Structure 1
Amino acid sequence: MGSRLFQALADGVLGGGVYGLMAVGLTLIFGVLDIINIAQGILVVLGSYLSYVLWVHLHIDVFLGLLFTIPAMFVFGVTVQWFFIRPLRGRERTSMSLLASYSVAIIIEGVLYQVFGSNYQSIQTSYTTSTINVFGYYIPYIYLYGFGLAVLFVVAVYYMLYRTQFGRSVRATMQDQTAARLIGIDVNRVAAITFGIGVAVTAAGGMVYGSINSFNPNTGADLISRLLAIIILGGMGSIAGALGAAVIMITLESLVDVFWNPNWSVVVFYVVLVLVLTFRPQGILGRKEARAQ
């Protein structure tokens, strides 16, 4: 009983950190641009494929490969925002941005199918096969490193937001885009860079996810549904809330999987989401006030 409980808690907390890492970029984009990037799930998968190619074909260590994949995904994110999201204007901007990001997701998924096919792939490295013994339970190093990356990225984002000049511009844009323009902030530049950062995070999330799970181009659909549930539960736009919600939900899912029935773990995931939002619609760390546009 005790070992099973520890196993469930360890898998939940560390796995939740991985999902939190993937959700950080999505909630950052929403917090600044006030849009939901439906393409975030397939972008995580794209990050997995990039790490897969670097490791399998070029024999570059997956963590060293982040030095290539993170900048590449940042540039890709800036490009997507500049050409697909920035031109959207008017009262229908939010709904149109959903269609735009969905279109980007379909394009990426189609390209991945053409290049890699529909077969499942996985990134098998020493990080996935090597384990550490904690109280008799063997934990793969990739879980520990993934959780560490999640904490590192959250700290880095908070440092950027509260300790840099660009971060002050970001926070001003999050609060009121019109006022930000009036005081001389280039809102378009802030939006493009922030979107790029949000997409760049998926490079790390995709690498860790692909090292733990098998993936194919269709994996993005399942990922985006989970990531949306996590950021809604954590509070839309709350980075700490996203990480906390990910740990809570994946831990709960792990407990149900171990002590009840694996077939019910996903159901319980979404039932808890509905129950929490019934009593706290703004999420765990969300705020009730609306933001001016």
Structure 2
Amino acid sequence: MHEAVQAVILGVLTGGVYALMASGQTLIFGVMKVVNLAQGALVILAAFLSHSLFTAWGVDPFLSVLLIAPLMFALGAAVQWLLLRPLHQDDAALLSLLVTFAVALGIEGALTVVYHTDYRTTRPAYVDRSWRIAGYQVGEVRLAAFALSLITLGGLWMLLSRTRFGRSVRATVQNPVAARLLGVETARVAALGFGLGAATAAAAGAVYGMVYSFNPNSHYDLISRLLSVVILGGLGSLGGTVVAALVMGVASSLVGALASPVWSDFSFFVVLLAVLLLRPQGLFGARLRGAL
């Protein structure tokens, strides 16, 4: 029983990290209906940038987010404006898959040239510290990462629900033609939305680099998990992404603790398949445009 509860605690904290990584994917799909295959590569890019800032200048990984996020935002907005916006609307959904995959390969190639293929981990002094609460171990980094996830996701929700930009995003999601008729610059909203989705990768990458080892090829495994979380939650549903990430995190942790770590990663796809057989649109998926 003790081992199962400990696994649930670890799974919840890990799920918060996955929710943070997948939130950008959800936002981009909600605004543009683009499945961004480069999101995993953006997370790994941010992990390398955070690692470099820490090793070269001693910048704490959590503080490095403040420096990396604007760069990631600019990169995401540039990708959308220069590569995705010109795509013909009739073929945009299919072509965007190819374009974002090409972006992922480009990021991987650049990282390989600069950093080579060695695995790295960002290890500040507190990375192995943990607190003992009611007899259970709670990792300091994972708890801080979970708190960062809550803050970032809460800020993202406030932005989408309480600001003029958020109203423009929701209008674009629900009916882009009507939004344009009402004066919303949908192309600009799409660029800003893509940039915002990429900016979440800054926080996710800084955390990922402390929790897991990574190299330029790590985005392949990562994007498969992020897509599983986003599909399980319901494409375009930010709340569904959070719930799905927690479900996946807990399931993976329980399988690793009670069965075998070999099967923990596979549990992602087992849970996804089980849910989709019963509810094809995902846990919180909407059949109509406008899930955000």
Q: TM-score range by the shorter chain?
A: over 0.9
d(CA) in 1 for partners of 2:112 and 2:274? 37
d(CA) in 2 for partners of 1:131 and 1:266? 24
Taking the TM superposition and a 5 Å limit, the aligned residue runs for 1:220-231 are 220-231=219-230
d(CA) in 1 for partners of 2:255 and 2:103? 35
d(CA) in 2 for partners of 1:8 and 1:216? 27
Q: Which residue does the alignment assign to 1:244?
A: 243
Taking the TM superposition and a 5 Å limit, the aligned residue runs for 1:133-144 are 133-144=132-143
Q: Which residue does the alignment assign to 2:54?
A: 55
Q: Which residue does the alignment assign to 2:65?
A: 66
Aligned length: 290
d(CA) in 1 for partners of 2:136 and 2:237? 33
d(CA) in 1 for partners of 2:121 and 2:264? 23
In structure 2, give the amino acid aligned to 1:69.
Answer: I
Moved more, 282-291 or 12-21: 282-291
Secondary structure (helix, strand or coil) at the match of 1:57 reads helix
Secondary structure (helix, strand or coil) at the match of 1:128 reads coil
Q: Which residue does the alignment assign to 2:98?
A: 99
Moved more, 131-140 or 270-279: 131-140
Unaligned runs of 5+ in 2: none
CA apart distance, 1:290: 4.3
Unaligned runs of 5+ in 1: none
In structure 2, give the amino acid aligned to 1:283.
Answer: G
Q: Is the 8 A contact 1:233 1:283 kept in 2?
A: yes
1:219 aligns with 2:213: no
d(CA) in 1 for partners of 2:247 and 2:24? 19
Secondary structure (helix, strand or coil) at the match of 2:131 reads strand
1:109 aligns with 2:108: yes
d(CA) in 2 for partners of 1:61 and 1:255? 31
Q: Which residue does the alignment assign to 1:132?
A: 131
Q: Which residue does the alignment assign to 1:170?
A: 169
In structure 1, give the amino acid aligned to 2:27.
Answer: L
Q: Which residue does the alignment assign to 1:253?
A: 252
d(CA) in 2 for partners of 1:11 and 1:75? 34
Q: Is the 8 A contact 2:174 2:289 kept in 1?
A: no
CA apart distance, 1:164: 0.6
Q: Among the aligned pairs, what percent are the same residue?
A: 45
Moved more, 132-141 or 245-254: 132-141
In structure 1, give the amino acid aligned to 2:78.
Answer: T
Q: Which residue does the alignment assign to 1:42?
A: 41
Secondary structure (helix, strand or coil) at the match of 1:225 reads helix
Cα deviation code 1:35-60 (max 9, x no counterpart): 01100001100010010000001111
Q: Which residue does the alignment assign to 2:151?
A: 152
Secondary structure (helix, strand or coil) at the match of 2:57 reads coil
Taking the TM superposition and a 5 Å limit, the aligned residue runs for 1:178-193 are 178-193=177-192
In structure 2, give the amino acid aligned to 1:44.
Answer: V
Cα deviation code 1:150-184 (max 9, x no counterpart): 11122111111111111100000000111111111
